[in-house]
Amino acid sequence: MVEDNVIAKEDKNGNNKEIFQLNAKVLDINADVDVVILNNMFAKFYGITNSSKVLIKSNGNEIAALVDTSSTLIKENEIGIFKNFAEEYNISDNSLITVMLLPFAESIDLIKKKLNKEELTEQEFKIIVDDLINNKIGLIEVSAFITALYTNGMTDEEILGMTNAILSTGKALDLKTDLVVDKHCIGGVAGNRTTMIIVPIIASLGIYFPKTSSRSITSASGTADTFETIANVSYSLGEMEEIVKKTHGCIVWGGSLNLAAADDRLIKIRHPLKLDPEELLLASILAKKKSVNAKHLVIDIPIGTGAKIADIHQAKKLGNKFEVLGKRLGINTKAIITDGSSPVGYGVGPALECLDVLRVLDNSKHANKFLREKGCYLAGKLLEMIGYCERNKGYEIAYKTIETGKALKKFREIVAAQGGKEDINENDLPKAKYSAPLLAKNKGKILYINNRTISQIARIAGAPNDKAAGVYLYVTSGDVIKQNHCILDIFSNSETKLTAALKYAENNPPLVIKDFIV
């Protein structure tokens, strides 16, 4: 009997709402959206139709899903779960699933409003974001929302409204001081690990730098992936606060902190769709910086072939937006346009990028000078912004912290506070079992190194999941090389992946040399 599956007639707020308990039946097929299948008779009895939305609860997860119905696939006491859905939420056959029919979400009308090119208020953005967090809307609705933002854009007031809406969904760090700085890079440049250089420089001077970083989504490594080769990056907000109060700095994975929680969900949907509305990017970044109560912020905007932004005019426009909106949020913000035409460091991949950082901080003769100079330049700008030194004196002070070993000492202190070795050095990094060189086919002067190609080679080799995998470059833009010169080495713990990465590199040359392609 269908009525036997009802376990409650009201929800926790006393609203009339049947709550069912059904047995999971895992189907050996995948679905592109969150959808479940109910028995046709069961659904009809309770007025559930195709495209109705239900909230299912399993293993501590709450997931909003669309309903499809079937008279043959699913019995009256079952709920059909698609294979990929079951794997993601650890659901197995005959698991007991709690199911509740969701009412029509108010945010759907607001998403339609934005699709119709109408402006939304901060309160309306909060309704959408709250429905997202509380699983009242799912993949389809949020995809429509992101599409609306991408197509129709957002006014400055809307960006601020969205920023505050995202902020309202998570916790905040409060160090009870105005001497808190932060930094963000728009991304798209391989080996650009300046964060791991800037944080110890700034923290060694007694300034608070609570850095939350991301893992890789499309690159060979995110800052969190790189730092994770030598220390733990997953901490609660309270644990992060303790580390920062002790060392003045940290490098932790933002996804573990519940800071601006809605943003993490939006990111998971934006990237597969390859839709990254500039205005949503602004709201996303500023919300994360506001959530750690940063008072001073440097935004690194790399431009060039292969970077996310290729046009100087677009970069200037975006930088101006950051500065204007940051000021309105109480954050002294400076956007800096940098050269993103080639990788910044030699290493591309978690351990290899960490090797670059350690060599810079240790004053090694093998250190990448561009990575050191960029790290010191950005750190210097932060020092000038907070009034630590006079204008154009920041670089010199930042460089001196490296030269004297002060930055390395602080780096090791932060590593130890995050569970790593107190005397960490490059010999402690993971090493790959296999490697292969890529040789130059022609001679000439290197015009640029393609960021996307280099990152793709490293990913094929296994990065970032294989911490030791990646690419180590032996050349930089401007170098003059001979035929058969070793351009780079590819590293991997898998011979199969190494072979695939080398073949890709040979068929997709990463360097451009004058009129010749290497």
State pLDDT tens for residues 288-332: 999 999 999 999 999 987 778 888 999 999 999 999 999 999 999
Q: What is the mean pLDDT of residues 156-179?
A: 92
Pick 133 or 321 by higher pLDDT: 321
Three-state SS at 54: strand
CB atoms inside a 10 Å sphere around CB 11: 13
State the pLDDT confidence band at 205, using cuts at 50, 70 and 90: very high
Identify the residue whose tokens are 């109480």.
330
- 9: pLDDT strictly greater than 50: no
Query: Would residue 32 show up in a list of annotated catalytic residues for this protein?
Result: no
Residue 5: DSSP 8-state? G
Backbone phi and psi for residue 71, each to the nearest 5 degrees, phi listed first: -95, -10
Q: Scanning the structure block, which residue is given the tokens 């080799």?
A: 461
Taking the CA atoms of residue 461, residue 463, residue 465 and residue 466 in that order, the dihedral angle to the nearest 10 degrees is 60
Bridge partner list, 182: 297
Q: What is the pLDDT of residue 354?
A: 98
Task: Work out the mean pLDDT of the chain and round it to a whole number.
Answer: 90
- Quote the percentage of the chain above a pLDDT of 90: 64
pLDDT of residue 210 exceeding 50, the answer is yes
Amino acid, single-letter form, for residue 221 = S
CATH 1.10.10.10 at 2-101, yes or no: no
CA pair distance 296, 290, nearest whole angstrom: 10
Overall size of the chain counted in residues: 518
What is the distance between the alpha carbons of residues 445 and 490, in angstroms, rounded to a whole number?
22
Give the single-character DSSP code of 484: T
Per-residue pLDDT at 132: 85
More confident residue, 103 or 128: 128
Domain with CATH 3.40.1030.10 in the chain: 181-257+288-417
* Amino acid identity, position 302: P
What is the model's pLDDT at position 271?
64
181-257+288-417 CATH fold: Pyrimidine Nucleoside Phosphorylase; Chain A, domain 2 (3.40.1030)
Q: Please, where in the chain does CATH 3.90.1170.30 lie? A: 434-517
Mean of the pLDDT values across residues 377-406?
97
CA atoms of 114 and 105, how far apart (whole Å): 15
pLDDT tens-digit series, residues 253-274: 987 777 777 777 777 666 666 6
pLDDT tier at 239 (50, 70, 90 boundaries)?
Answer: very high
Q: Which residues of 157-191 are buried (b: 16+ CB within 10 A; e: fewer)?
A: ebbbbbbbbbbbbbeebeeeeeebbbbbbbbbbbb
pLDDT(2) > 60: no
Tens digits of per-residue pLDDT, 475-518?
Answer: 998 899 998 999 999 999 999 999 999 999 999 999 888 755 44
Predicted pLDDT of residue 515: 57
Most confident of the ranges 17-31, 138-152, 265-279, 496-510: 496-510
* CB-CB contact of 79 with 97 (8 Å): yes
- CB count within 10 Å of CB 139 equals 18
Please spell the DSSP secondary structure of 280-319, one letter per residue: HHHHHHHHHHHHTT-SEEEEEEEESTTSSB--HHHHHHHH
Tokens of 4: 């036997």
Where in the sequence of the chain do the CATH 2.40.40.20 domains occur? 2-101
Tokens of 401: 């912290």
Highest CATH level, class, for 434-517: alpha beta
Residues 441, 509 contacting (CB under 8 angstroms): yes
Look up residue 31 and give its amino acid: A
Using CA atoms, how far apart are residues 76 and 96, in angstroms rounded to an integer?
14
Q: What is the DSSP string of 382-438?
A: HHHHTTSS-TT-HHHHHHHHHHTTHHHHHHHHHHHHTTS-TT--GGGS---SEEEEE
- Residue with the bigger pLDDT between 33 and 128: it is 128
- pLDDT of 349 reads 97
> Which pLDDT score, from 0 to 100, does residue 32 have?
66
Give residue-wise pLDDT tens across range 35-52.
899 999 988 888 888 768
Q: Which stretch of 3-17, 314-328, 429-443 has the lowest confidence by average pLDDT?
A: 3-17
Report yes or no: 202 and 299 within 8 Å, Cβ to Cβ: no
Q: Which of 4, 93, 182, 276 is catalytic?
A: 276
Identify the pLDDT of residue 275.
66
Question: Which whole number is the average pLDDT over 391-414?
Answer: 97
Residue 180 pLDDT: 96
CA 411 to chain centre: 23
Closest CA to 76 of 44, 50, 54: 44
Percentage of residues in the chain having pLDDT higher than 70: 94
Nearest CA among 371, 348, 401 for reference residue 221: 348
pLDDT tens digits, one per residue of 461-480: 999 999 999 999 999 988 99
